[in-house]
C-alpha cells in the first residue's frame, strides 16, 4: 500500500514552530509521506524566512503579502488561489493547516472546495481577537481537529495531541549556549551573563489604529538601567508598520536604552534565550504557551491573548506604562513551576502517527 501523502502548508514563522517536530517525525513514520509547502511571509527574510530551514523537498510558493487590513484579505485570497494550483497538481490525500493566521483561511478554502480532507492543527483555542473568527472558520471547514489542550478538544469535538512547539522546549535543555548577537540585529551588544529581559509586542488586529500608541506606552513602561533587553520585531500583521515605527522612534529618542533589536531569531535559539531570561514582556502567544512549559515569568500586555488558557507564569496588565512596570516587578518576584498545559513534549511523533492513519476523518 502506498504511503499516505499529506501536504502541510506553512505561511509564517509561528506556523513552522508549530509543525517542525511533525515534519521531523514524519521521516521515520511508516505509511506517511509528509510534504511541505512554504508560502506568504514564510519566504521573507524580514519575517524569518523560515522556508530556509526546510530541506530541498519543500515547495516554495510566492504570494502577495502586506501589513494593512485590506492586505490581509488580498493575502488570504492569494494563498487560496495559489493552493488551488498546488493541490490540483500534487493531489494529496489530506492537507494540514496550522493555527489561526489569516492566510490559513486560504489553505482551508482551497482544500475544502477541492474535496481534500483538511486537518487543522491547534483547533479549538481561544485568544479573544479576530484570530478566534479565523480559527473557528478553519475548524468549520476542517475534517479533523487536532488540539493542544483538553479544553480546546472538548470545544470542537477534536483530538487532544498537544502542540509540537512544546516539543521544541524539550530540545532547548540539550541546546548548546546561544550567542544571540550571532543572528545580527541592531543596537549595542551588552554582557548578558548577569541577566537580561526579552520583549515581543505584536499589533492587535482589532485595535490597529492604536498600534503605534500602544507600542509607545509599552516602551515607556520598561525599566532601562538595571538589565539589558533583547527585543524581537513583530510578525507580519496589520499594524506591524506602526509598531515598527514606534520601535525605531524609541531607539533614536532613548540612545541610553540598553536594548538589542532582532528582526527574527530561529525557533530553538529563541526558546533557549527565553529559558534563561529574567522575564518576557509583551503580548506574544509564546508567553502563554511555550513559556508555561518553561516556567518563565511573563508580563502579558493588553487584549491580544485574553482568551487563552494560562499557566501560573503569567501576569496580565493593561497597555499602561505604570501597570507594565509594576507587572515586571511582580513577575520577576515569582517562581512559577512548569506545566504541561499545551503539551508533553511528544506531540510531533503523536501527530505524525495520526496523519499516517488513513482512517482518520
255-306 pLDDT tens trace? 889 999 999 898 889 999 999 999 999 999 999 999 999 999 999 999 999 9
195-214 pLDDT tens trace? 999 999 999 999 999 999 99
Q: Is 287 domain-assigned? A: yes
Kindly report the CATH number assigned to the domain that includes residue 313: 3.40.50.2000
pLDDT category of residue 67 using cuts at 50, 70 and 90: confident
Q: Is 13 domain-assigned? A: yes
- Report the pLDDT averaged over residues 173-181: 89
- Report the pLDDT averaged over residues 341-360: 90
Same-domain check for residues 135 and 14 = yes
pLDDT category of residue 185 using cuts at 50, 70 and 90: very high
- Report the pLDDT averaged over residues 145-172: 95
Q: Is 71 domain-assigned? A: yes
pLDDT of residue 242: 96
Q: Is 231 domain-assigned? A: yes
Same-domain check for residues 311 and 195 = yes
**By residue range, what is the domain housing residue 59?**
4-163+343-356
What's the length of the chain? 361
pLDDT category of residue 358 using cuts at 50, 70 and 90: low
pLDDT category of residue 344 using cuts at 50, 70 and 90: very high
pLDDT of residue 1: 61
Q: Is the confidence at residue 359, as pLDDT, over 70?
A: no
Measured at the CA of 137, the angle between CA 132 and CA 141, to 5 degrees, comes to 145
Q: Is 52 domain-assigned? A: yes
Nearest Cα residue to 251 out of 233, 266, 237, 277:
233
pLDDT category of residue 52 using cuts at 50, 70 and 90: confident
Order of all β-strands in the sheet with 197-200 = 259-262, 229-232, 197-200, 280-282, 298-301, 314-317
Same-domain check for residues 9 and 69 = yes
Same-domain check for residues 183 and 134 = no
Same-domain check for residues 153 and 284 = no
Same-domain check for residues 219 and 323 = yes
- For residue 115, the tally of other CB atoms under 10 A from its CB is 7
Q: What is the mean pLDDT of the chain?
A: 94
Q: What is the pTM of this model?
A: 0.93
Same-domain check for residues 113 and 85 = yes
Nearest Cα residue to 300 out of 285, 286, 316:
316
Same-domain check for residues 72 and 188 = no
pLDDT of residue 18: 92
Q: 287 CB contacts (<8 Å, ≥6 apart)?
A: 200, 280, 296, 298, 300, 305, 313, 314
Q: How many domains does the chain have?
A: 2
Torsion of CA 180, 183, 185, 189, to 10 degrees: 40
Same-domain check for residues 178 and 296 = yes
Q: Is 260 domain-assigned? A: yes
Q: Is 151 domain-assigned? A: yes
- Report the pLDDT averaged over residues 71-93: 96
Nearest Cα residue to 121 out of 80, 165, 82:
165
pLDDT of residue 360: 59
- For residue 119, the tally of other CB atoms under 10 A from its CB is 25
- Percent of the chain topping pLDDT 90: 83
Question: How far, in Å, CA of 221 to CA of 361, rounded?
Answer: 49
Helices (H), the chain: 13-17, 20-26, 69-90, 103-113, 130-141, 150-156, 164-172, 211-220, 240-253, 267-275, 285-288, 290-294, 321-332, 347-356
- Report the pLDDT averaged over residues 68-79: 94
Q: Is 361 domain-assigned? A: no
Same-domain check for residues 18 and 130 = yes
pLDDT of residue 40: 92
Same-domain check for residues 282 and 347 = no
Same-domain check for residues 245 and 140 = no
Amino acid at each position: 500500500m502506498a504511503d499516505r501523502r499529506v501536504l502541510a502548508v506553512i505561511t509564517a514563522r509561528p506556523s513552522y514552530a508549530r509543525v517542525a517536530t511533525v515534519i521531523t517525525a514524519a521521516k521515520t513514520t511508516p505509511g506517511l509521506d509528509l510534504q511541505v509547502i512554504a508560502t506568504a511571509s514564510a519566504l521573507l527574510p524580514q519575517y524569518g524566512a523560515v522556508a530556509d530551514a526546510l530541506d530541498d523537498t519543500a515547495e516554495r510558493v510566492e504570494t502577495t503579502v502586506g501589513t494593512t487590513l485590506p492586505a490581509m484579505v488580498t493575502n488570504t485570497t492569494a494563498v487560496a488561489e495559489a493552493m488551488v494550483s498546488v493541490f490540483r497538481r500534487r493531489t494529496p490525500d489530506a492537507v494540514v493547516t496550522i493555527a489561526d493566521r489569516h492566510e490559513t483561511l486560504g489553505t482551508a478554502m482551497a482544500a475544502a472546495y477541492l474535496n481534500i480532507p483538511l486537518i487543522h492543527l491547534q483547533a479549538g483555542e481561544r485568544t479573544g481577537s479576530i484570530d478566534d473568527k479565523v480559527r473557528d472558520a478553519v475548524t468549520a471547514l476542517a475534517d479533523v481537529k487536532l488540539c493542544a489542550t483538553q479544553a480546546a478538544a472538548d470545544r470542537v469535538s477534536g483530538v487532544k495531541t498537544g502542540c509540537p512547539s512544546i516539543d521544541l522546549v524539550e530540545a532547548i535543555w540539550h541546546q548548546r549556549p546561544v550567542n544571540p548577537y550571532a543572528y545580527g540585529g541592531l543596537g549595542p551588544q551588552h554582557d548578558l551573563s548577569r541577566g537580561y529581559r526579552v520583549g515581543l509586542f505584536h499589533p492587535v488586529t482589532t485595535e490597529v489604529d492604536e498600534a503605534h500608541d500602544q507600542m509607545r506606552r509599552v516602551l515607556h513602561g520598561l525599566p532601562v538601567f538595571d538589565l539589558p533587553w533583547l527585543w524581537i520585531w513583530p510578525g507580519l500583521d496589520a499594524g506591524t508598520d506602526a509598531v515598527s515605527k514606534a520601535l525605531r522612534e524609541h531607539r533614536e529618542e532613548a540612545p541610553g536604552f540598553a536594548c538589542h533589536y532582532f528582526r527574527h531569531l530561529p525557533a530553538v535559539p529563541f526558546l533557549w534565550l527565553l529559558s534563561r531570561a529574567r522575564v518576557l514582556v509583551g503580548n506574544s502567544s509564546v508567553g502563554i504557551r511555550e513559556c508555561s512549559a518553561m516556567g518563565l515569568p511573563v508580563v502579558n500586555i493588553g487584549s491580544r491573548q485574553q482568551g487563552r488558557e494560562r499557566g501560573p507564569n503569567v501576569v496580565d496588565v493593561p497597555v499602561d506604562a505604570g501597570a507594565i512596570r509594576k507587572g515586571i516587578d511582580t513577575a520577576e518576584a515569582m517562581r512559577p513551576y512548569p506545566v504541561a498545559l499545551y503539551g508533553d513534549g511528544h506531540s510531533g511523533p503523536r501527530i505524525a502517527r495520526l496523519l499516517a492513519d488513513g482512517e482518520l476523518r
